[in-house]
Structure 1
Amino acid sequence: MPYEWLPPSKNYEPRWPGRLVEKIDLENGLVLEIWDYSRRLAGDRWLVGMLAQIVVEAPPEAFSRRELYEVFCDEEEGKVYYRYRKERTFVDERECEALFEQLKSRFLEAALNYLSHPSFKERLIAAEVALYERRKAWEEQVKQKDEEIERLEEEWKDRPI
């Protein structure tokens, strides 16, 4: 899986620094952060990277079980994220700033109305919590199957085949 740059947090430190370029207060009360995580690749060639992010606290009532919410808080700090990432590689050093501004302006032109919709927060929470709960259910199924395999291996280890 390729490396995806994320902003620093309490539990995460990125491989290379980025900078918060802009915070935009949306009409629905959310805050859109625009991050520049561009870096030099080789010589005068750069990776130009833009990350747009909205951070939302997930309430306990969004989860089907209180235990899942507590695990979610431990693992994800109680937050769900909208993230949009756009990158260009091997960009001439002289073109980096202009390309970043172009990526940012095209994103804002296309997505600002969608992100500002009054129900965006509720839909984001519902979608991300559902994904998280499905992932946890899958992890539990895998754990149970592994335990069953271990039990069967132990039970059959001394039997002739």
Structure 2
Amino acid sequence: MEEKLIETVLLENNLTLNFYDASRKIAGGRYYVALITRMDIPVKPEMFTNNGAEAATYDEIVGATGDMIVFEKKRERNFISAADKDAVFKEMCDSVLTHTSLYYSREDFPKKFILSEYKKIADHYVTSQ
């Protein structure tokens, strides 16, 4: 699937949210409309100090995830007419900017997302043994 970077937004927590258009024509003047939002989240040591005894350490997290984690969300609609394609895509972008980006902008979002991804990896490792 081909993606085209259409916009970047610097969030209040200094992360950059990238907007990609991955739409394509399917059949009979109809389109698959897809918006991908993506951002790189660096894993920083200061995020994991004073976590409490039960929390993973920075070294454990970096060992499992690496020092950068990619956050990605995809919004998609299928069989959209050519006449409605641009409006549907704009509506998807506007929705992210007005609603979801408020959550992504929170100061604690990077740490919570990193811990969530680490937990998925740790759980997968435990269940696969």
- Tell me the TM-score normalized by structure 2: 0.80
Q: What residue in structure 1 maps to residue 20 of structure 2?
A: 35
What is the percentage of aligned positions where both structures have the same residue? 23
Q: What residue in structure 2 maps to residue 133 of structure 1?
A: 122
Larger Rg: 1
Aligned equivalent of 1:82, options 71, 77, 83: 71
CA contact (8 A) 1:36 1:51 kept: yes
- The residue type equivalent to 2:58 in the other structure is A
* Residues 1:72 and 1:118: Cα distance change in structure 2 (over 3 Å): closer
Q: Greater helix percent: which structure?
A: 1
Task: Point out where structure 2 has 5 or more consecutive residues left out of the alignment.
Answer: 46-56
How many residues are matched?
A: 118
Q: Greater strand percent: which structure?
A: 2
* Residues 1:45 and 1:65: Cα distance change in structure 2 (over 3 Å): closer
Q: Which has the higher contact order (CA 8 A, sep 6+)?
A: 2
Residues 1:62 and 2:66 aligned together: no
Distance in 2 of aligned mates of 1:138 and 1:44 = 46
Task: Point out where structure 1 has 5 or more consecutive residues left out of the alignment.
Answer: 1-15, 142-161
Alignment of 1:87-102 (within 5 A): 87-102=76-91
Alignment of 1:1-161 (within 5 A): 16-59=1-44, 61-64=57-60, 69=63, 72-73=65-66, 78-139=67-128, 141=129
Structure 1 segments of 4+ aligned residues over 4 angstroms from their partners: none
Find the residue that maps to 2:26 and give its secondary structure.
Answer: strand
- The residue type equivalent to 1:131 in the other structure is K
